[in-house]
Amino acid sequence: MATELTINISIDVLEKAEELNAQEREAMQLAQDAAKDAYAPYSNYLVGATLLLEDGTFFKGSNQENAAYPSGLCAERTALFGMSANHPNKKIKLIAVTARRREDTHFLPAMPCGACRQVMAEYEHKQHDKIPVLLQGPDGSFYRFKAVSDLLPFLFTSDNL
Ligand code: THU
Q: Which residues line ligand 1 (CB under 6 A)?
A: 40, 43, 45, 47, 63, 65, 72, 74-76, 112-113, 116
Query: What is the phi/psi pair of residue 59, to 5°?
Result: -135, 125
Q: Are 92 and 51 in contact (CB under 8 A)?
A: yes
* 133-136/92-101 β-pairing: parallel
- 20 vs 14: CA distance, rounded Å: 7
Q: Ligand 1 centroid to 63 CA: how many Å?
A: 6
SS3 content of the chain, % helix, strand, coil (to 5): 35, 25, 40
Q: pLDDT tens per residue, the chain (161 residues)?
A: 999 999 999 999 999 999 999 999 999 999 999 999 999 999 999 999 999 999 999 999 999 999 999 999 999 999 999 999 999 999 999 999 999 999 999 999 999 999 999 999 999 999 999 999 999 999 999 999 999 999 999 999 999 99
Domains along the chain with CATH numbers: 11-151 (3.40.140.10)
What's at 151, amino acid-wise? L
